[in-house]
Amino acid sequence: MTERPDTDDYDLLTFGEVAARLSERLAEEQEVLAQARRDDDTARIEACEQRIEVLRTSVERYGREQQTGEVFRRRFGAIPVQPPAERPSWQ
């Protein structure tokens, strides 16, 4: 299960928060699937499996975005980084 990052601003819906919420929903849906299998409800099993696949894909996508920031770079470009010689030296 994806954990909420300690550094997130909880007034905002961050990629980390989205990943955590999707992960929670995925766990709930897996419980529903287990119950459907116990009840041998094939239509419900198929629907749950489809939702689980979508949720897994979403958890991976938002978890990856939380780590890489690829949407930010695609929208705003790379964050400029000063060459080492131009960086301030704190002494």
> Which residues contact residue 4 at a Cβ distance below 8 angstroms, ignoring those fewer than 6 apart?
16, 17, 20
The residue assigned the tokens 């030296």 is 89
C-beta separation of 33 from 55 below 8 A: no
C-beta separation of 1 from 13 below 8 A: no
In a domain, 24, yes or no: yes
- Host domain of residue 23: 15-75
Q: Quote the pLDDT of residue 45.
A: 97
In a domain, 1, yes or no: no
Segment 76-87, tens digit of pLDDT = 777 666 666 666
pLDDT reading at 52 higher than 80:
yes
In a domain, 64, yes or no: yes
**How many folded domains does the chain comprise?**
1
pLDDT reading at 8 higher than 90:
no
Q: How crowded is residue 91: how many other Cβ atoms within 10 Å of its Cβ?
A: 3
